[in-house]
Amino acid sequence: MTRFRWAGTYKDGTLVCQHTPGGETAFKDVDQSRLAKFGWYAVPDGVVNLEKAIRAGIPMWSLEVRVKPGEKVVAFRRHHMNMIEDKIVQYGLGIEGRPLTLINSDGSVEVE
């Protein structure tokens, strides 16, 4: 299964990433008023620091949205849980009030 991590780019070029060397950033802590774009990135094996990988131009499949002033990003993971496992089965991304794009665990993409 592919590992997806989110990252956002602020209008000033600063990156905000879900996972950082010092810990994890909560989506609720992203300053959406400063966002220029936001997306889910398929992180290749061996990549630990998503920000460095993006800045270095390491090829990664991504699903991104451009954010216009006043828009709000919607991003989420849906989990499937049973007595044996807890696994992510979908990642969602979009702009509030518009159709959402879903990435399924098999890598296929659909619009909700």
Number of helices (H), then strands (E), in the chain:
1, 10
Residues sharing a CB contact under 8 Å with residue 94, sequence separation 6 or more, in sequence order: 65, 73, 74, 100, 101
Domain count, the chain: 1
Domain that holds residue 72: 3-111
The structure's pTM equals 0.87
Whether the predicted pLDDT of 18 surpasses 60: yes
Looking at per-residue pLDDT, the higher value among 14 and 106 belongs to 14
Residue 54 DSSP label: H
pLDDT over 70, % of the chain: 96
